[in-house]
Structure 1
């Protein structure tokens, strides 16, 4: 993998999130891929399970969000990216994630792990 291929995969991920259905997932994830939604969460394993999780986690393809990403590192088949997602218009929810991805030779993801972080509440909001 190289930075351009990883950036293209992340763009395909965003496009798939914005597209009805889950057909694109078969081109993005290997049949036996694992998808971990947080460092302490059990992985979702296999394309059918990832497809079910994908459908249950998103509000639908019309969900309003802005996503930006930066590929931080690529070493062989493994890549790390920093991804910021702001939901709503105006944005009322924000996440800054680190994604750790391992890819097969054909460019499909074998292992996806996200480390999601949300901003801390401001002191005025904590009351």
Structure 2
């Protein structure tokens, strides 16, 4: 894995969040992937469970948000990225996350863990 491929994966994640349905998730996550929404939360395991979580967590593909990303580090199959998301226009919710992403050989995510932080909320678990 390299920074260019990680950056492309993050762009695909954002595009999938903005797209109706969940079909793109199969190209992004392995069938047995784990997705941890916070450092102390139990992981959501398996593509069907990730798909259900994805649908329940977003307001829909028309949700207004701005997302920026910076790949902080890549070491072998693991990457760390700093993500900032601002929801609404005007902005009514803001998050700064660290994502720890472990990739399978085919470039799909095998393990995803986010560390979300929001103003006035601190770290959320």
TM-score (norm 2): 0.96
Q: How many residues are matched?
A: 121
CA distance in 2, matches of 1:16, 1:107: 16
- Structure 1 gaps, min length 5: 122-127
Kindly name which structure, 1 or 2, has the bigger radius of gyration based on alpha carbons: 1
Confirm or deny that 1:74 pairs with 2:38. no
CA distance in 2, matches of 1:6, 1:119: 27
Query: What displacement does 1:119 show?
Result: 1.0
- Structure 2 gaps, min length 5: none
Query: 2:23 maps to which residue?
Result: 23
Query: 2:117 maps to which residue?
Result: 117
The runs of 4+ residues in structure 1 deviating greater than 4 Å are none
Q: Deviations over 1:57-91 (max 9, x none)?
A: 00000000000000000000000000000000011
TM-score (norm 1): 0.94
SS at match of 1:91: coil
- Root-mean-square deviation (Å): 0.7
Taking the TM superposition and a 5 Å limit, the aligned residue runs for 1:1-127 are: 1-120=1-120
CA distance in 1, matches of 2:33, 2:115: 17
Query: What displacement does 1:2 show?
Result: 0.2
CA distance in 1, matches of 2:14, 2:75: 23
CA distance in 1, matches of 2:90, 2:30: 36
Q: Deviations over 1:28-77 (max 9, x none)?
A: 00000000000000000000000000000000000000000000000000
CA distance in 1, matches of 2:40, 2:75: 24
